[in-house]
A and B are shown apart, each in its own frame.
Chain A
Amino acid sequence: MGLAGAIGEAKKGAGELVVLAFLDDEPRHGYELTQLIEERSRGALTFNFASLYATLYKLEERKWIQGRWVEKPGQRRRRYYRITAEGREVLAAQRKEWRQFFELIRDLAGVTYA
């Protein structure tokens, strides 16, 4: 994806990037993801839960992540998602693009990011 594409997709892509990034550590279920996102962004970023699942399904359809129903003793049956090898490649590529994008914004507009 070229740089211009990344900007165009930035808004939509941010959600996907975040989800992929959180799944990079370990498999998680949907509720856990919403909690994590809220926590780590200190409430600045929230997902409408239907959009979260829409994102998850889209990623799953692209075979970047894979969901599986898991039933643990004493727990509700949950669908856990784990990142696939292909997903990891995409994540790495996206991380790089986003880094380039922010560097560009910093250079052009003097914006810095944490």
Chain B
Amino acid sequence: MRDRQMRHWRTLVRERANREWRELSLDVVDELACHLAELQTSAISRGASDGEAQQIALDALNSASFLELSKRPRARPGGGYVHDVRVAIRQLIATPVVTTVAALSLALGIGANTAIFSLVNSLVLRTLPAKEPKQLAILTDTSPQSNDSWTYPIWREVLRRPQLFDGAFAWGQRRFDLAGGGVAEFADGIYTSPGIFDTLGVLPALGRAFTDADDRPGGGQDGPVAVISHAFWQRRFGGAADTIGRRLTLERTPFTIVGIMPPDFFGPDVGRRVDIVVPIGMVTALQQDRNLSERDWWWLSIMLRLRNGQSAEQATTALRALQPQIRSATLPLDWPAIDRERYLKDGLTLVPAATGNSALRTRYQRPLFTIQIVVVLVLLIACANIANLLLARATARRHEWSVRLALGASRWRLVRLMMTESLVLSLIGAGLGFLVARWGSQLLVQQLSTQTNAVFLDLSVDWRVLGFTTGITVVTALLFGTAPAFRAAGVAPMEAIKDQGRGAGGDTGRMSVASTLIVAQVALSVLLVVAAALFVRTFEKLARLDLGFDPTGVLVVSMSAERASIEPAQRVAVFERARQAVQALPGVEQAALSFVTPLSGYAWGNRLEVSGGVPLTESARSARRNQVSPEFFEAYSQHLVAGRNFTERDRDGAPLVAIVNQAFARTFLNGANPIGHTLRRFPVGAGEASLEIVGVAGDAVYRRLREPIPPTVYSPVMQSNAELPSSEYNLSVRAAAGSLPLLPRSIADAIGGVNQDLALTFRPLSDQVSASLTQERIVAMLSGFFGGLALLLAGLGLYGVTSYAVSRRRGEIGIRMALGAAPESVIRLVLGRVSALVGIGIVAGAGLSLWAAQFVSTLLYGLEPRDPATLVGSAGVLAAVGAIAGWLPARRASRIDPAEVLRDS
């Protein structure tokens, strides 16, 4: 009741003020209305009727002069900005459709930008959660691939020279098997030296760090010890208070938990969370094949803390002075002379590592930057759209502004009002966008993860993300708010009142700004559509690539005998028995052993020499290797094109044989038939065995889809003792149709029947193939999505501007039609203008794309960055969108009834 009364008086006060051309602030209107309502209420309480009371208050209102009140006597709190914000919110509520469309496009645009930026931030910009991260440096060298993996002997040599640094540690990544046997259950961890805690300046939040005494084979006083992450503690132990001192089984070995790291610790590798930290000394206990003194086991990363005030360059100089000693003490003696020479020569180098070490960064930095640019462009397109929407609305509000000006508002004040409106809109977009970003960035991190590689990125909001979002919010508001604001300031006082809502005066300016915006939108859209097409086609080409084998229905079971206490010489026989047991299972068509499986990320290779081969440079002699059982080619549906397959007779003691692929024949033998030729390692060492080529297999992808198919040599698993007895082999199982999902259980049982201690991991080969396409899939998905969004926005923008132009020219078109113009000519008139805008936009966009192509070439596959078909196709798509967006208003124009228009004017 009271509210209704207040509303009533507010309306009357406003009307009265309008009649006197007075502008009252919201507060004043409220206060006067309140007064009149009090007057009315007290009249009633004194016995007046409703009608009399109303009249008393009305008389008071009518006898009042608003002259004095409208001089804005009151100093507004916050310099009037609060008032401006209120006015802005009222304006935004008054045009709900425009506001919703604008806020949603902003939410999407700002959200996408924030999401991608928070990934860039955590992957590239954020420093490690360590003490003074700027003093951290990583050891690399000057070899062409700037090696950053080191052997344990090298680490010991570095550690023996403490004058070089203020702290140092080495670490090697490891997925620890937590299962007691059978199917493996992995947790990401590292082997590391005790220096990690002091060097990073991060100590366990609970319990203790491990010490030099713990870093010995078999462990120190407490036996084998481990420090676990906060997340692992919560996940595995439910955050139990008595976790310190509990047992944790790693690789079948009991460890004692001595410490729990603080929540923000994720280890020295960005993109991967370390859940378990174990002393390097425990390696030989867990991986029995390994010997820490091996001089060519490259598995450690080394991080140093520079001495106070020392730069990485100065530290490198100091290190280089000691390099000859370090290198010669660790020289792999059995290496060929050429490699040893290189080993001694490559200069040890320290590079700043404030942001940690990251394989993920190397891989995703460029794709992420590319997508960041894509989303910035989408936001620009959205800004152009909103600017156009607001411009259209601005024209509709010229009346309001000229009244404000006539009442003495300054032009600056109008600009301020309009900019406030834009900023409020932008803030709404940013608020929603922040939610989009939280959700989107987490989704993206999930997409980056694969079964064997769980990606962890710290996506917590820091000052950089906040600053970025605030920055783009303000810039966005400036971008789409400036044109309408100055449009408002350009209104002449009273002028708009005279031709209220009708005349075309002052409209030409708006149309030329709008046209420029449309051309820019179309141009940027062409660029984005071209980019999307290139990335989607890259993904499609890779996804449809002829792999040389058929991955569907194949399950890869990796079997590790590391902890199975089997004599190395007996391992292959155990694996073969496991293979036979699986082969006998129902639903299994073929089971084959191999050392490497395709697209697993692992590779094995040598430089080779072939009898009668063409002369080759040393680096051209590299070939990939694999050891396979005779069933391999059938299990993988990989064709043998010549010669014979391996048989059971190709075993230890029999002549060593090999099957090579066609790429091998092309590279080493210039395409000649390789059968009968022999191959050996290059350069030939003493007693080097040679293998006779007995068959030729079809070319098949080896480690990466993008790599040209490498020359590949297959040798029989049963002859592996001659060369490389491994503790881990893969069993590739081709399942009968439909039986794949049921197989893991029965396979685990069958292998368990042969040997209980083999650790098993299951993974469908198709997952392995799909995981190898993760980067391309994400880039294609994101660029496709944003390309589509750009198209939609550009289409909407074009439609809006054309519709608006048609409605402004309704009178003119009506007169033309009254004078005999045919509907087709009206359509031509409208479409002509649209085609001109779209045409200019397409040409500009094509030019832009040609220029920008150079930056994405490394992300493409099987396509030229300036691929003409893509360019023409994208231009066609834009033209089609333009045609649709122009056609609808054009058709409406052609249906204008001249009689109606003439009546209205």
- Report the Cα distance A51→B69, complex, angstroms: 8
A61 contacts B by Cβ under 8 Å: yes
- As a 0/1 sequence over residues 43 to 74 of chain A, the CB contacts with chain B under 8 angstroms (1 = contact) are 00000111101100110110000000000000
Of A1-9, A76-84, A87-95, A100-108, the one touching chain B: A76-84
Which among B30, B32, B34 has the greatest number of chain A C-beta atoms within 10 A?
Answer: B34
Residues of chain A contacted by B65 (CB below 8 angstroms): 48, 50-51
- Report the Cα distance A78→B74, complex, angstroms: 16
Contact of A77 with B34 in the complex, beta carbons under 8 Å: yes
Contact of A30 with B2 in the complex, beta carbons under 8 Å: no
Of B35-43, B612-620, B630-638, B768-776, the one touching chain A: B35-43
- Report the Cα distance A35→B45, complex, angstroms: 14
Which among B2, B63, B68, B75 has the greatest number of chain A C-beta atoms within 10 A?
Answer: B68
Contact of A50 with B34 in the complex, beta carbons under 8 Å: no
Complex partner residue of B34 from A35, A51, A61, A76, CB under 8 angstroms:
A76
Contact of A49 with B37 in the complex, beta carbons under 8 Å: no
Contact of A49 with B34 in the complex, beta carbons under 8 Å: no
Contact of A76 with B6 in the complex, beta carbons under 8 Å: yes
- As a 0/1 sequence over residues 126 to 155 of chain B, the CB contacts with chain A under 8 angstroms (1 = contact) are 000000000000000000000000000000
Contact of A49 with B38 in the complex, beta carbons under 8 Å: no
- Report the Cα distance A90→B64, complex, angstroms: 28
Residues of chain A contacted by B2 (CB below 8 angstroms): 76
Residues of chain B contacted by A29 (CB below 8 angstroms): 34
Contact of A78 with B34 in the complex, beta carbons under 8 Å: yes
Contact of B64 with A49 in the complex, beta carbons under 8 Å: yes
Contact of B37 with A76 in the complex, beta carbons under 8 Å: yes
Contact of B32 with A50 in the complex, beta carbons under 8 Å: yes
Contact of A49 with B73 in the complex, beta carbons under 8 Å: no
Contact of A31 with B68 in the complex, beta carbons under 8 Å: no
Which among B2, B6, B66, B73 has the greatest number of chain A C-beta atoms within 10 A?
Answer: B73
- As a 0/1 sequence over residues 753 to 790 of chain B, the CB contacts with chain A under 8 angstroms (1 = contact) are 00000000000000000000000000000000000000
Contact of A61 with B73 in the complex, beta carbons under 8 Å: yes
A48-B65, A50-B68, A58-B73 as given contacts; A76 in contact with B38, CB under 8 Å: yes
- As a 0/1 sequence over residues 663 to 681 of chain B, the CB contacts with chain A under 8 angstroms (1 = contact) are 0000000000000000000
A48-B64, A58-B73, A61-B73 as given contacts; A53 in contact with B32, CB under 8 Å: yes
Residues of chain A contacted by B69 (CB below 8 angstroms): 50, 53-54, 57
Contact of A49 with B75 in the complex, beta carbons under 8 Å: no
Chain B interfacial residues counted at CB < 8 A: 24
Residues of chain B contacted by A50 (CB below 8 angstroms): 32, 64-66, 68-69
Which among A29, A54, A77, A79 has the greatest number of chain B C-beta atoms within 10 A?
Answer: A54
Residue on B with the closest CB to A48? Answer: B64
- Report the Cα distance A26→B746, complex, angstroms: 89
Contact of B39 with A51 in the complex, beta carbons under 8 Å: no
A54-B69, A61-B73 as given contacts; A30 in contact with B35, CB under 8 Å: yes
How far, in Å, is B580 (CB) from chain A's closest CB? Answer: 86
B28 contacts A by Cβ under 8 Å: yes
Contact of A53 with B6 in the complex, beta carbons under 8 Å: no
Residues of chain B contacted by A54 (CB below 8 angstroms): 68-69, 73
Residues of A1-55 contacting chain B, CB below 8 A: 29-31, 34-35, 48-51, 53-54
Complex partner residue of B28 from A34, A53, A58, CB under 8 angstroms:
A53
Contact of A79 with B31 in the complex, beta carbons under 8 Å: yes
How far, in Å, is A26 (CB) from chain B's closest CB? Answer: 18
How far, in Å, is B19 (CB) from chain A's closest CB? Answer: 14
B60 contacts A by Cβ under 8 Å: yes
Complex partner residue of A61 from B35, B39, B60, B74, CB under 8 angstroms:
B74
- As a 0/1 sequence over residues 64 to 91 of chain B, the CB contacts with chain A under 8 angstroms (1 = contact) are 1110110001110000000000000000
Residues of chain B contacted by A77 (CB below 8 angstroms): 30, 34
Contact of A60 with B73 in the complex, beta carbons under 8 Å: yes
Contact of A31 with B38 in the complex, beta carbons under 8 Å: yes
- Report the Cα distance A54→B71, complex, angstroms: 9
- Report the Cα distance A35→B38, complex, angstroms: 11
Residue on B with the closest CB to A30? Answer: B35
- Report the Cα distance A35→B63, complex, angstroms: 17
Residues of chain B contacted by A34 (CB below 8 angstroms): 35
- Report the Cα distance A61→B35, complex, angstroms: 20
Residue on A with the closest CB to B65? Answer: A50
How far, in Å, is A81 (CB) from chain B's closest CB? Answer: 10
- Report the Cα distance A84→B638, complex, angstroms: 94
Residue on A with the closest CB to B13? Answer: A50
Complex partner residue of B31 from A35, A53, A58, CB under 8 angstroms:
A53
Contact of B60 with A49 in the complex, beta carbons under 8 Å: yes
Residue on A with the closest CB to B25? Answer: A57
Residues of chain B contacted by A49 (CB below 8 angstroms): 32, 35-36, 39, 60, 64
Residue on B with the closest CB to A54? Answer: B68
- Report the Cα distance A60→B75, complex, angstroms: 8
How far, in Å, is A68 (CB) from chain B's closest CB? Answer: 10
- Report the Cα distance A54→B37, complex, angstroms: 18
Complex partner residue of A31 from B6, B35, B74, CB under 8 angstroms:
B35
Residue on A with the closest CB to B5? Answer: A76
Residues of chain A contacted by B35 (CB below 8 angstroms): 30-31, 34, 49, 53
- Report the Cα distance A50→B59, complex, angstroms: 12
Contact of B68 with A51 in the complex, beta carbons under 8 Å: yes
Residue on B with the closest CB to A77? Answer: B34
How far, in Å, is A76 (CB) from chain B's closest CB? Answer: 6
Which among B2, B30, B38 has the greatest number of chain A C-beta atoms within 10 A?
Answer: B38
How far, in Å, is A45 (CB) from chain B's closest CB? Answer: 16
A50-B66, A53-B69, A76-B6 as given contacts; A30 in contact with B74, CB under 8 Å: no
Residues of chain A contacted by B39 (CB below 8 angstroms): 31, 49
- Report the Cα distance A57→B32, complex, angstroms: 12
How far, in Å, is A32 (CB) from chain B's closest CB? Answer: 8
- Report the Cα distance A61→B69, complex, angstroms: 12
- Report the Cα distance A57→B73, complex, angstroms: 6
Residues of chain A contacted by B37 (CB below 8 angstroms): 76
- Report the Cα distance A35→B27, complex, angstroms: 22
- Report the Cα distance A76→B3, complex, angstroms: 9
Residues of chain B contacted by A48 (CB below 8 angstroms): 63-65
- As a 0/1 sequence over residues 85 to 124 of chain B, the CB contacts with chain A under 8 angstroms (1 = contact) are 0000000000000000000000000000000000000000
How far, in Å, is A99 (CB) from chain B's closest CB? Answer: 28
Contact of B74 with A60 in the complex, beta carbons under 8 Å: yes
Residue on B with the closest CB to A75? Answer: B2
Residues of chain A contacted by B30 (CB below 8 angstroms): 77, 79
Contact of A57 with B74 in the complex, beta carbons under 8 Å: yes
- Report the Cα distance A76→B68, complex, angstroms: 26
How far, in Å, is B570 (CB) from chain A's closest CB? Answer: 88
- Report the Cα distance A51→B67, complex, angstroms: 9
How far, in Å, is A37 (CB) from chain B's closest CB? Answer: 13
Residues of chain A contacted by B38 (CB below 8 angstroms): 31, 76
- Report the Cα distance A47→B728, complex, angstroms: 100
Residues of chain A contacted by B75 (CB below 8 angstroms): 60-61
A50-B66, A50-B69, A57-B73 as given contacts; A79 in contact with B32, CB under 8 Å: no
Residues of chain A contacted by B63 (CB below 8 angstroms): 48
Residues of chain B contacted by A35 (CB below 8 angstroms): 42
Residues of chain B contacted by A61 (CB below 8 angstroms): 73-75
How far, in Å, is B233 (CB) from chain A's closest CB? Answer: 51
Residues of chain A contacted by B42 (CB below 8 angstroms): 31, 35
Q: List 16 A-B contacts (CB under 8 A).
A: A30-B35, A31-B35, A31-B39, A31-B42, A48-B63, A50-B64, A53-B28, A53-B32, A53-B35, A53-B69, A54-B73, A57-B74, A60-B74, A76-B34, A79-B27, A79-B30
6 A-B pairs closest in CB distance? A57-B73, A50-B64, A54-B68, A31-B38, A31-B35, A57-B74
| A→B interface (CB under 8 Å) | 29-31, 34-35, 48-51, 53-54, 57-58, 60-61, 76-79
Beyond the given A49-B36, A60-B73, could you list 17 further A-B residue pairs with CB under 8 A, ordered by the A residue number?
A31-B34, A31-B39, A34-B35, A48-B65, A49-B32, A50-B66, A50-B68, A50-B69, A53-B35, A54-B69, A57-B69, A58-B73, A60-B74, A61-B73, A61-B74, A76-B34, A77-B34
| B→A interface (CB under 8 Å) | 2, 6, 27-28, 30-32, 34-39, 42, 60, 63-66, 68-69, 73-75
